[in-house]
């Protein structure tokens, strides 16, 4: 559950699951790493391979949410203020944490790809580009699952030609935003040492990166407990139905969540685990495919 937001769908080439546990692959300042996380008898074990193995293991507590402090949320007085549906979700998921990877570029690119398109389109594009321009993970096909990939570095993303973005189904507006953001890649990675609020402000200064994109990034990189993905196509409706039984808009969602400011992302995550599903009305967004036109 904690790592779920880091994986961009079941086909994300940078993640894999096998009987041994959950695999992920990513770059570190020292090099690439393949990481295996196993859980047995209340014990979590992290092993890594590759030049970046030591750095990856060192960053594992943040990725696994172990640096995310829920003590104030779990205080009996605070829990008493929560809607019953949230209290029940927390009771059933006491181990839920928010991840803090510190890997801003790895979060930024797939998030920009998800702007104003369906999830299916965005994840298809991300899979295509990672498989084509990423790097096989250390030990892939031997110690790690075959096909496990490390996403492109900032420099590699910047070298992708315009026709390949088109072939991936990514329009110029989104690819241009990726390019603008990554031209300051060193500055982006320094945001990992900033607070979530400072990082979000810096991200929003990039043309094409707004409130939704910044929130989606800091939720993954900083374990931001309060960010809300304002502008999400479904989220406000879902939160409204979950808390009141009625659909609402972004302004209404923020009003509903305001009593728990400081923990609003935690509430959203728990509502997502509550089993509640908002009914969907209207026509589905048509998935466009202009890759070969």
Give per-residue pLDDT as tens, 131-185: 999 999 999 999 999 999 999 999 999 999 999 999 999 999 999 999 999 998 8
pLDDT at 186 over 90: no
Q: What is the pTM of this model?
A: 0.93
pLDDT at 290 over 50: no
Average pLDDT value for residue range 67-77:
97
Burial class (CB in 10 A: 0-12, 13-18, 19+), 136: middle
pLDDT at 18: 85
**What Cα–Cα distance (Å) separates residue 231 from each residue in 70, 193, 210?**
26, 27, 9
Average pLDDT value for residue range 69-78:
98
pLDDT at 81 over 60: yes
Average pLDDT value for residue range 216-223:
98
Looking at every residue in the chain, the average pLDDT score rounds to 94
Sequence-distant (≥ 6) Cβ neighbours of residue 48 within 8 angstroms:
33, 34, 35, 36, 54, 56, 57
pLDDT at 149: 98
| Least confident window among 18-27, 56-65, 104-113, 263-272 | 18-27
pLDDT at 278 over 80: no
pLDDT at 146: 96
pLDDT at 237 over 80: yes
Residue identified by tokens 């991300």 is: 126
Cβ proximity of 68 and 152 under 8 Å: no
The CATH code for residues 4-63+99-221 is 1.10.340.30
- What's the full length of the chain, in residues? 293
pLDDT at 281: 58
Average pLDDT value for residue range 85-89:
98
Q: How confident is the model at residue 250 (pLDDT cuts 50, 70, 90)?
A: very high
């Amino acid at each position: 559950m904690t790592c779920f937001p880091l994986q961009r769908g079941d086909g994300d080439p940078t993640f894999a699951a096998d009987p041994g546990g959950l695999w992920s692959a990513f770059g570190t300042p020292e090099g690439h790493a393949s990481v295996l996380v196993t859980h047995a008898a209340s014990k979590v074990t992290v092993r890594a391979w590759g030049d970046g193995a030591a750095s990856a293991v060192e960053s594992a507590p943040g990725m696994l949410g172990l640096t995310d402090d829920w003590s104030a949320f779990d205080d009996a007085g605070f829990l008493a203020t929560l809607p019953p549906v949230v209290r029940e979700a927390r009771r059933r998921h006491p181990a839920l944490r928010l991840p803090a990877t510190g890997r801003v570029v790895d979060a930024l690119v797939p998030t920009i790809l998800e702007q104003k398109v369906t999830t299916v389109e965005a994840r298809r594009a991300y899979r295509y580009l990672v498989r084509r321009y990423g790097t096989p993970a250390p030990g892939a096909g031997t110690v790690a699952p075959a096909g496990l990939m490390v996403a492109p570095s900032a420099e590699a993303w910047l070298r992708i030609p315009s026709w390949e973005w088109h072939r991936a189904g990514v329009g110029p507006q989104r690819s241009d935003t990726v390019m603008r953001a990554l031209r300051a890649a060193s500055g982006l990675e320094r945001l990992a040492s900033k607070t979530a609020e400072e990082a979000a402000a810096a991200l929003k200064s990039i043309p094409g990166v707004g409130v939704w994109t910044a929130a989606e990034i800091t939720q993954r990189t900083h374990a931001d407990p309060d960010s809300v993905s304002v502008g999400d196509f479904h989220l406000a409706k879902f939160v409204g139905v979950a808390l009141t039984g009625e659909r609402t808009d972004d302004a209404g969602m923020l009003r509903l969540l305001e009593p728990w400011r400081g923990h609003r992302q935690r509430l959203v995550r728990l509502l997502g685990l509550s089993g509640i599903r908002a009914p969907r009305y209207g026509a589905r967004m048509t998935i466009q495919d202009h890759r070969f036109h």
